[in-house]
A = this chain, B = another copy of it.
Amino acid sequence: MSTLFTVERLEAFAAQVLVALGALDEHARVTARRLVEADLRDRTGHGIIRLPLYAERIEAGGINLRPDVRILHETPVSALVDGDNGLGQVVMTLAVETAIEKAKVSGLAWVGTWRSNHAGAAGVYTAMAMREDLIGIYFAVASANVMPPWGGRERLLGTNPVAVAIPAGAEVPFQLDIATTVASHGTIKVKSQAGESMPEGWVIGMDGEPITDPDRADEGFLMPIGGYKGSGLNFAIGVLAGILNGAAFGREALDHRAVYDVPANTGQAILVVRPDLFLSLDDFKREMDRQLKVFRGSESMTDAPVRLAGEQAAAIEAERRQDGVPVPGALLAKLRALAVRLGVDDQLVEQE
């Protein structure tokens, strides 16, 4: 039901599609890489599945393919990146690279974006910092409002994600990448496709009663994690990634799946911390390794060992780098149709 493609092939394909849509080579290359990185770590909802949607937004004029992505203000510890409505992956990649560079010198850096777009999987950006032995923390205003503030009835908040990646030594590092809602559109779609109902607590109706039919999820609101607690975290993330940077939040946050021709003014923020501000890097990594081992070796509720965030994604990434990235049949058909329509040479036809 799925077909496997190498990382290189999928990256090249995604880049060709973006170039055919009018993107600059460099922007297409960066965006393709970030999309496939999402697929590699099993954040498939933020991977190449997004290409058809990006194509619709680009063709409707909702994304600027010749953006002047640049740093508006900066200090040794901060920068505001103006995305000029360019592809979100291009904007966020500059933001992370800027934050990494500054944190290496200053120890700490916070870079925000405005006039950005959907940038895909949060954990892809924190991983870039982690690969440089830095701690990465990412916040974003999600690209659609899916729930009211706690106690309200107007959709003013998205799934606003947070990601944290922490370097380790020999152990598989800890990498968290979560929406602050209990479920996401992706997980609901999976339930729908499997013909299963949703557990109570994922979606609540306008009448306050739970909705368990995944095909009726749009009639209600997603629920935040931990009730008022997650609702508050979600709002805080919106402020830190959105309001702080002059990006859209609340009523101004567009649903990028519904409105294609208007710039989204998406906001993101990345905080990068050099661990050796406190302990030496070696001591920090040694202690991370020790603690990761303690947690992973601690008594389990089941026969399987205790797993920490990022472990499953790392295993899947290793497997997919070796064996290829699976593309489900329905998605493959969509991508092929897109390639044909745009006159892209590679139409992801199996070569064996």
A321 within 8 A of B: no
9 closest A-B pairs by CB:
A225-B226, A232-B309, A154-B298, A78-B277, A176-B232, A152-B306, A153-B299, A178-B229, A164-B236
- Say if the beta carbon of A279 comes within 8 Å of chain B: yes
What's the interface size class on A, roughly? 35 or more
Taking A78-B277, A230-B225 as contacts, is the C-beta distance between A306 and B149 under 8 angstroms?
Answer: yes
- Let me know if A291 and B250 touch, CB within 8 A: yes
Whether, in the assembled complex, A190 has its beta carbon less than 8 Å from a beta carbon of chain B, the answer is: no
Q: How many copies does the complex hold?
A: 2
Write the A229-270 contact mask toward B (1 if CB under 8 angstroms, else 0). 111110110011001111001110000000000000000000
Interface string of A158-191 (1 = CB under 8 A from B): 0000101010000000101011101000000000
Q: How far is the CA of A243 from the CA of B287 in the complex (A)?
A: 7
State the A residues within 8 Å of B (CB).
73, 75-78, 80, 106-110, 112, 135, 148-154, 156, 162, 164, 166, 174, 176, 178-180, 182, 208, 225-233, 235-236, 239-240, 243-246, 249-251, 271, 273, 275, 277-279, 283-284, 287-288, 291, 294-295, 298-302, 304, 306-309
Which B residue's beta carbon lies closest to that of A307? B151
Q: Is the CB of B182 within 8 A of A249?
A: no
A interface majority secondary structure: mixed
Given A225-B225, A236-B164, also A278-B246 (CB < 8 A):
yes
